[in-house]
Amino acid sequence: MLRHLRVTNFAILSDVEIELGPGMNVLTGETGAGKSLIVEAVNLLRGGRASADIPRNGADEAVVEAIVEVPDDLQARVAEVIEGAGLPKGEGDEVFIRRVIQRGGRSRTYVNGALTTAARLAELGGLLIDLSGQHQHQGLVDAARHLDLIDAFANASAATAVGGLAAMHTAWAELRRCDEELVALGGDAREREARIDYLRFQLEELDGAALQPGEDASLELERVRLASVDHLQGAARAAEEVLYGGDDCARDRVASAAREVERAVKTDPTLEPVARQLTEIETLIDDAADQLRSYADKLEGDPERLAYLDERIALIRRLVRKHGIAHGGAPGTASLEDLIAKTVALRSELDSMTGRDARLAEISAARAKAETAALSAAAALTATRKKAARKLEKEVGGALAELGMGSARLSVEVEARGLGPTGADRIELMLASNKGEDTRPLTKVASGGELSRIMLALKLSLRRADEVATYVFDEVDTGIGGATAQVVGAQIRAVAADRGSGDRGRQVLCVTHLPQIAAFADHHFHVEKTEVAGRTETHVRKLSAAARKDELARMLGGHATSKAKAHAAELLAEAAKPHKRSTARA
């Protein structure tokens, strides 16, 4: 709920702070004192558009700040919106909102200290604040929301709508998946056959080559060795001659050195390690010479093998150039591994296309099953919605009768439409204001005061379904008085909290000129316009019990006379009594 509100340099609101409480908060005061400006400031907190001339004269910008306490049942959805927008989390269950409106109409929006857009704020604010007045009813007149409202209303009465929607979403997702695969399997038959022929031709060449991973590197190594047989054989024999076969070879020199050291060891035993090393060197020279001799003896030219290698390497290079596409799409730099991977992909595509008929039959059967499930889920939803619609019509009708609009009739139209993710229904709330009139969409109801009472009746009936933390009512008392005004006050407080029923309470901020409504407030604020240093300013103060009685007396007769105060006391006493309602029982 809206816990703290501060408005700075906002027209005549130079610096106004209000600490709102749970339940029903009422703003009263003379006409023009600035009550509607406070409502306009609250509207900015839910993403509303800012007027270009709103900053106070002499100020470059106006600022609206609020701390909103999120109820437990809304915290998950609010957190989802905040996380989705990439905004920081608030402290505990609080959200901090700040709008800065510059002269000329441009504005900056902050949530939890981070800059964001008005559109993001509207998404968040729609969960937190709902505003109703003579000229704006942002929530309930939007026909696009009516289906969701009926589903939520049905679920508040019986836990069937949510389960039905889940089944509908699942069936629709499967139906869409099948349709998408059927489209992918479709296409022109001639084009498909041409593609199959092309794939087979390509694979015939690639399969015939029988390419192996790493084959090109191993073939190239073998080819280089065969092409250099004479050079390699000469090098091996020359090395063997130096080590072992020639006069004064390395083997003879090491043997001579070993003999000299062995004689010296008899005199100095410390040379024993050197003697062993020389012996090991002789052995190593013998082994190396043997290997070189064997290598040279086995080397021989193989012109046929060399020709095969040249042909095989040329084939691989040609196929890589022909079929290979390097990363990034540049031709000519692909590798053998890329070509082998492409071969696998081509074969997979061919298998898919040649197995189309079988897959087509399989997907068609799956689609028929998904369509049956979707139609069944949609039919169940339609039945649930029609039942909820009749119940809502009855509840709203009872509330309208209490509000002095007994001849008005709410109708919930449930019309068939094409199957979709939410079923096969289009829902719109319609109203006939007077007996004998045709029903019309809520947006076309002419009277502002009439629409305000209709909104009140709807919100009272939908209070469990419309998940909003704070309701704002701006002068919903237009055109009413007396006993009807008292009923309006009782119903507004019922929206805030249906006392004794165990319902989740909501916060209400209400602007009114009628003492019969103000008497129901849990928190009463007086808005007063004064002149300070030659400039008009608005001040807001929370009224004590005594001051509240004086304010109600003023609203009753213009002056707080003893008779007016007595009447005010009666209103407060009457409002304090439990008020039973004949409608809106769930």
Q: Is the dihedral of CA 505, 509, 511, 516 positive or negative?
A: positive
> Alpha-carbon distance 584 to 105, whole Å?
42
**What's the average model confidence in pLDDT over 303-313?**
88
Check residues 203 and 583 and name the one with the higher pLDDT. 203
Q: How do the domains of the chain map onto residue ranges?
A: 192-354
Q: How confident is the model at residue 327 (pLDDT cuts 50, 70, 90)?
A: very low
In whole angstroms, give the CA distance from residue 152 to residue 401. Answer: 24
Q: What pLDDT score was predicted for residue 46?
A: 87
- Rounded CA gap, 283 and 306, in Å? 37
- pLDDT higher than 50, residue 500: no
Residue 82's pLDDT is 92
Strands (E), 421-506: 423-432, 440-441, 470-474
- The string of pLDDT tens digits covering residues 61-111 is 999 999 999 888 788 889 999 998 899 988 888 999 999 999 877 889 999
Rg of the chain in Å (alpha carbons): 44
Mean pLDDT of the chain: 84
Position of tokens 């064997």?
A: 294
- Tell me the mean pLDDT in the region 243-272: 90
- What pLDDT score does 421 carry? 93
- Eight-state DSSP code of residue 331: B
Q: Please state, in angstroms and rounded to a whole number, the distance separating the CA atoms of residues 397 and 444.
A: 19
Residue 584 has pLDDT above 60, yes or no: no
> Helices 336-354 and 189-209, interaxial angle, to 10°?
140
> What distance, in Å, lies between the first and last C-alpha atoms of the chain?
24
What was the pLDDT predicted at 73? 77
pLDDT at 384: 92
Burial, 302: exposed, middle or buried (Cβ in 10 Å; 0-12, 13-18, 19+)?
exposed
With 80 as the cut, is the pLDDT of residue 583 above it? no
* Mean pLDDT on 513-540: 91
Q: Note the pLDDT of residue 196.
A: 83
8 A C-beta contact, residue 278 and residue 271: no
Specify whether the CB–CB gap between 24 and 520 falls below 8 A: yes
Q: pLDDT, tens digit, for every residue of 155-189?
A: 765 544 456 888 999 999 999 999 988 887 776 66
Three-point CA angle 234, 240, 246, nearest 5°: 105
Which of 456, 460, 502, 494 lies closest to 475, judged by CA? 456
Residue 585 has a pLDDT of 37
At residue 135 the predicted structure's pLDDT band, cuts being 50, 70 and 90, is very low
Q: For the beta carbon of residue 408, count every other beta carbon within 10 angstroms.
A: 22
Tokens of 6: 């501060």
Q: Would you say 27 and 527 are in contact if contact means Cβ atoms under 8 Å apart? A: yes
Residue 514, both tokens: 């009628």
Res. 433 pLDDT band, cuts 50 70 90: confident
**SS3 label, residue 46:** coil
Write the pLDDT tens digit of every residue in 15-33.
999 999 999 999 999 988 9
The answer to whether residues 99 and 12 touch, using CB atoms and an 8 Å cutoff, is no
Question: Is-above-0.75 flag for pTM?
Answer: no
pLDDT of residue 467: 67
pLDDT in tens, 338-360: 899 899 988 888 887 777 777 78
**Cβ 11 vs Cβ 34: under 8 Å:** yes
**pLDDT cut 70: percent of the chain above it:** 90
pLDDT tens sequence across 527-564: 999 988 888 889 999 999 999 999 999 998 877 788 98
φ and ψ of 581, to 5 deg: -115, 145
Of 120-134, 149-163, 187-201, give the lowest mean pLDDT range.
149-163
Quick one: tokens of 158? Answer: 């019986």
Instruction: Tell me which H or E stretch contains 294.
Output: helix 272-298
Instruction: Evaluate if residue 118 carries a pLDDT over 60.
Output: yes
Residue 391 pLDDT level (bands cut at 50, 70, 90): very high
Give the model's pLDDT for residue 87: 92
